[in-house]
Amino acid sequence: MLREENYTGKMKTIWIIGGPGCGKGTQCDHMIEKYGFLHLSSGDLLRAEVASGSERGATLQDLMSKGLFVPTVCNMQISINWFYHSRTN
């Protein structure tokens, strides 16, 4: 989804924060359409990690099923792994 002609080698990050159902995904869809941004949803990444069946996924499932927050470091590791693998594929 990232337009190659607009890629300068430096990644800019825009955080969209809000409660459930407030329109975060809708606004991200608009930005993807207009600017060609890449959209990463922490919720989608966490659910994918749980679905992978990994040890970390099992830990995440336990935390999320109890309504606990996932540690920031874990969110960042999953995001960094996604960036790394998306750049090498």
Cα 9 to Cα 1: distance, rounded to the nearest angstrom: 15
19-59 tens-digit pLDDT: 888 999 999 999 999 998 888 888 889 999 999 999 999 99
Centre a 10 Å sphere on the Cβ of residue 58 and count the other Cβ atoms it contains. Answer: 13
Do 81 and 48 meet the contact criterion of CB atoms below 8 Å apart? no
Buried b (16+ CB within 10 A) or exposed e, 22-48: eebeeebeeeeeeeebeeeeeeeebee
pLDDT computed for residue 41 by the predictor: 86
Mean pLDDT of the chain: 84
Do 60 and 74 meet the contact criterion of CB atoms below 8 Å apart? yes
Q: Is the pLDDT of residue 67 over 70?
A: yes
pLDDT computed for residue 2 by the predictor: 42
